[in-house]
Amino acid sequence: MKELIKNLLLSLGEDPSREGLKNTPERVEKSLKFLTSGYWVNIEQLVNGALYEDDNTDEMVIVRDIDIYSLCEHHLLPFFGKCHVAYLPQGKIIGLSKIPKVVNAFSRRLQVQERLTTQIADCIDKILQPKGVAVVIEAIHLCMSMRGVEKQNACTVTSSMLGCFKTDSITRSEFLSLLQSPAKYGR
């Protein structure tokens, strides 16, 4: 990969041996490996030991405002924003910290936001088999802000609703309205 980056710098008209670029191929390789580390995450190992049988919890669980950082697969430019995940338990709950870890596992790949949203929802659904799952992502795409249409304030919102979040408008509305309420902590 370092040789590819060096050749890329040459193709851009740069001198990879100049002071500021001497270690750039190594830094870019390290950065790209980190930014795509989600390809090597084993989801079953990730959630192992954090699934709990619980027949008493049947109300909505929401983890909101999860920071996401990903790379657009079309331009290899970052997109970033917030992810909100909800589920309605059906005999099982998951350790709350595992939800952001699942989000990271899928966002640390070359992505499109639409697929990312669906992958997170499908994964939570498969792991928990709840009554329903809802995922909403709000993100800014640098491929739209820095180039192309150059719309710095354009925010893309995607959602994936499964189970009762898809079929029951009251459940879906409750989730969406809770996203609109100001967070008491963390904002």
Residue 186 domain flag: no
Q: Are residues 18 and 50 in the same domain?
A: no
**Does residue 113 contact residue 158 with C-beta atoms inside 8 Å?**
yes
- Indicate if 75 belongs to the active site: yes
67 and 144 inside one domain: yes
As a whole number, mean pLDDT of residues 105-113 equals 98
Question: Do 104 and 132 share a domain, yes or no?
Answer: yes
Residue 85 confidence (pLDDT): 98
Listed residue (71, 87, 62) closest to 32, CA to CA: 71
If one counts the domains in the chain, the total is: 2
- Asked if 73 is an active-site residue, the reply is yes
Residue 105 has pLDDT above 90, yes or no: yes
Q: Under the phi-then-psi rule, with left for phi > 0, alpha for psi from -120 to 50, and beta for the rest, what region is 159?
A: beta
Once rounded to an integer, what is the mean pLDDT over residues 122-149?
Answer: 94
Per-residue model confidence (pLDDT) at position 187: 53
**182 with 164: CB under 8 angstroms?**
no
- Out of 10-14, 84-88, 137-141, 180-184, least confident range: 180-184
Residue 153 pLDDT greater than 90, yes or no: no
Is 84 noted as a catalytic residue in this protein? no
Are 57 and 133 part of one and the same domain?
A: yes
Confidence of residue 83 (pLDDT cuts 50, 70, 90): very high
Candidates 26, 21, 30, 19; CA nearest to 3 is: 26
From the candidates 14, 29, 90, 143, which is the catalytic residue? 143
What's the domain range around 66? 45-180
* Mean pLDDT within 101-120: 98
Cα–Cα distance for residue pair 44/77, rounded to 1 Å: 29
What percent of the chain has a predicted confidence (pLDDT) above 70? 98
Considering the domain boundaries, does residue 78 fall inside one?
Answer: yes
For the full predicted model, state whether its pTM sits above 0.75. Answer: yes
Query: Is 74 annotated in the active site?
Result: yes
Pairing mode, if any, of strands 110-111 and 61-72? parallel
Q: What distance in Å separates the CA atoms of residue 158 and residue 139, rounded to the nearest whole number?
A: 9
